[in-house]
């Protein structure tokens, strides 16, 4: 019974393959794609750094970093 329930939950979870085309990242997606990772609920390092610094997040991988975003990432490392 419980394993059946887990199976349904897994099926309902977002996967990259059910992402609407309109949401897809211009980079084409992949393991390190921030759009893909957000969609499936994976941890996105730069999002955490920017949020902690009160900075805007990038919309997709092809967005250029703002100077202040670059700084925040540098400071973190």
The alpha-helical segments, DSSP class H, found in 1-77 are 2-12, 34-40, 45-52, 67-76
Distances (CA, A) of 23 to 15, 38, 62: 13, 11, 14
- Considering only residues 3 to 42 of the shown chain, the ones binding Zn ion according to CB under 5 A are 25, 27, 33, 35
**Which is closer to Zn ion, CB of 53 or CB of 61?**
61
CB of 75 to Zn ion, least distance (A): 24
**CA dihedral (62, 68, 74, 77) positive or negative:** negative
Total chain residues near Zn ion (CB under 5 A): 5
Binding mask 57-76 for Zn ion (x = CB under 5 A): ----x---------------
**Which is closer to Zn ion, CB of 39 or CB of 72?**
39
């Amino acid at each position: 019974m419980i394993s059946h329930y887990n199976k349904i939950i897994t099926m309902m979870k977002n996967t990259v393959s059910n992402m609407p085309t309109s949401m897809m990242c211009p980079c084409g997606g992949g393991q390190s794609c921030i759009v893909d990772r957000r969609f499936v609920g994976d941890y996105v390092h730069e999002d955490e750094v920017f949020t902690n610094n009160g900075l805007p997040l990038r919309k997709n991988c092809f967005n250029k970093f703002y100077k202040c975003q670059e700084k925040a990432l540098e400071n973190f490392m």
